Amino acid sequence: MLLQTVRPNIVQSIRAYRVEDLMQAAQAADQHFLYANLGAAQSKQEVLEGIAQSFMFPAHFGKNLDALADCMTDLVHKAGHQPGFVVVLEQLPDNARFDREAREQLLDVFRDAADFWAERKVPFRCFYSFQ
């Protein structure tokens, strides 16, 4: 199985993995598959809006990094036992409006989420790619 070759709590470039394979692996492992294609996003706000829509966050989502962190951790944790997560952030922008610092801040939220779920012994794998 594909997921057995990937550490259980990690944020990494998608590299040689295909989205379809990751989706099938998540389904086979009965884990949540969260996918956002952010190819149309150009700014931090548009990235957060794209993630919120794709992941079906609640309408009151604050569209900031703190709210994203809450939605990826506490909000889901309070919903009950979780089997694990495979997250794909495809085509993150790489431009002046969403520069390296903004990308690292966003990925840090997912790294923190991976740590949060690791403490609870729940796999959380996040894969990303850039435009």
Mean pLDDT, rounded, for 57-74: 92
| Residue 106, pLDDT score | 98
Q: pLDDT tens-digit profile of 92-113?
A: 999 999 999 999 999 999 999 9
* 124-130, strands of its sheet edge to edge: 9-13, 124-130, 85-92, 32-37
Is residue 69 in some structural domain?
yes
Is residue 93 in some structural domain?
yes
Residues found in the chain: 131
Report the CATH number at residue 27. 3.30.370.10
Is residue 55 in some structural domain?
yes
Domain count, the chain: 1
Per the structure, the complete domain to which residue 50 belongs is given by 23-130
Is residue 75 in some structural domain?
yes
Which is nearest to 123 in space by CA: 34, 42, 9, 27? 9
Q: pLDDT tens-digit profile of 4-32?
A: 888 999 999 999 899 999 999 999 999 99
The DSSP secondary structure of 68-103, one letter per residue, reads: HHHHHTHHHHTT-----EEEEEEEE--BTTB-HHHH
